[in-house]
Amino acid sequence: MKPWGLKAILIGAGAALVLVLLVGLLVWRGDILEDWLDPKVPYQTYTPPPAPNYASAKAWALRPDSGKPTEAPADVFFVHPTTYDGGHDWNAPIDDEQADRTLKRVMLPNYAGPFAKVGRVFAPRYRQASLYTFLTLREDAREARAFAYGDVEAAFRWYLEHDNHGRPIILVGVEQGGTLVQRLLTDVVAKDPALLQRLAGAYLVDTVTPKAAFGTDLPPCSSRRQARCVVAWAMGWADAPDAATRILSRALVWTPDRQLDVLGTQPALCVNPVLGAETEVLAAKRQNLGAVNATGMDWGERPPLLPHEVSAQCKGGLLRVSHPSAASLRPSGSWSDRKKERDYNLFYADLETDAKARVATLMGRTDFPTLAPPIEKTVVIKPSPIHRAH
C-alpha cells in the first residue's frame, strides 16, 4: 500500500471516530452532565455549608428597611427556585456566585417581580438543594431537599419577629421554593390562628402539590375575591400528551410524616393563575393579562407586558398551557439553564392582579389600596404675624 493511501485511511478512520464520539456526546449528553453534577458522596457523610445568619443582610437577596415608611400595604415572603447546579455540594452555599447571579438576574425579576407593587418583598437566601437533586429520586436527593426547609422556616420566623409588625402577608414559592412554602403553610401558618388571619394568599408557582395537603382553614382558592387560600399549579404544554405522567407521577411531595415521596396517583392541586380559581374552565388567550421576559432587568424596574400570549386550562391536576408566540418567551441558555425554572413568566400580570385582589379582600376593601406617598420631611408652620390697620 502506498504511504498516501495509508494516510488517507488513517485520516478517514480518525474522522469516523470523531463523528462517533460527537454522536455519542449528543445522545448521552444529558447523562454525562447529570453524572458531572452528582456530588458522589452519600448524604449521611456529607457536611452541608454553614447555616445562614438571618440577622445579617448577606442572608437576604431582598430585605427592605422595615423601619422606613412605605406605600405597600402588605408584605411578600418569597422563596426562590433552584439556581445552583451542583457538582460538589448537595446543598448550595448561600454565597455561590453563579447561583446568586442567576437568582438576581433571572428569578427575582421574573417571579418576585409580579409582587413588587403589592407589598414589600423579603427573599431569603437558603441552602437550596442542587439542580441534581431534581434529576434523580435517590434518597440522598430527598434528604438534601428536605434539609433546605430548615433554613426557610428559620428565615420566616426571623422575618415574623423582626420585620412583619402585624402586616398582611403573601407567601410565594417557585418550584423548589414552592415545595418548601407548602410545608411552611402546613407546619407554621395553619397552626397559628393569628398568623392565618393575616395571610392574604399563598402562591406555589410551578409546584406539584397534593390536593389533600390543605384543609378547610386554608383551602385552594375558588375565586379571585378570596383571602386565606392557596394558588398552586404545575405547568405542562398543552400539546404534550405525556406531560401529566412525566411531570406529576414522579414529582416529590411532602407526606403526612414530613418525608418527601413521589406523588404517584394522588390528585394534584391546580388553581388556574389566569382565573384565580380551582376550575377546569379554559382561560382563553384574550384573558391572559400579560407575560414578560424580565431577565437581566434591575429590581424594581417594570418589564413591558406581552398580553394574550397563552391559554391555560387545568386538566388532570396539570395546568396545560399553549405555546406563546413571542420570541422572548422561549427557552434559552445552557443545558442546565433549561432544566431550571423558565427565564420568563407567562402569568406575570395575572399574578400581580390576583395578589392585589386578595390583599384588598383581606383588608375589607373592594379595590387595592393606593396610598399617598409617605411624608419623609417634617415642615413646621409658624403663625404669621397679624398687622392691624390703624
Write the burial class of residue 218 (CB in 10 Å: 0-12 exposed, 13-18 middle, 19+ buried).
Answer: middle
Chain segment 256-275, per-residue pLDDT in tens = 999 999 999 999 999 999 99
**Could you report how far apart the first and last alpha carbons of the chain are, in Å?**
131
Can you read off the three cell numbers belonging to residue 382?
Answer: 409658624
- What secondary structure letter does DSSP report for 178? H
Please list, in sequence order, all residues whose beta carbon lies within 8 angstroms of the beta carbon of residue 139, skipping any fewer than 6 positions away. Answer: 43
Chain segment 283-325, per-residue pLDDT in tens = 999 999 999 999 999 999 999 999 999 999 999 999 999 999 9
Chain segment 216-248, per-residue pLDDT in tens = 999 999 999 999 999 999 999 999 988 888 899
pLDDT at res. 221: 98
> Percent of the chain beyond pLDDT 90?
75
Sign of CA dihedral 286, 321, 110, 118: positive
pLDDT at res. 327: 95
Of the pLDDT bands very low, low, confident and very high (cuts 50, 70, 90), residue 10 is low
pLDDT at res. 331: 86
Residue 21 predicted with pLDDT over 60: no
State which H helix or E strand residue 318 sits in.
strand 318-321
- Find the mean pLDDT for residues 45-62: 97
C-alpha angle 186-179-119 in degrees, rounded to nearest 5: 80
In 3-state terms, what secondary structure has residue 116?
Answer: coil
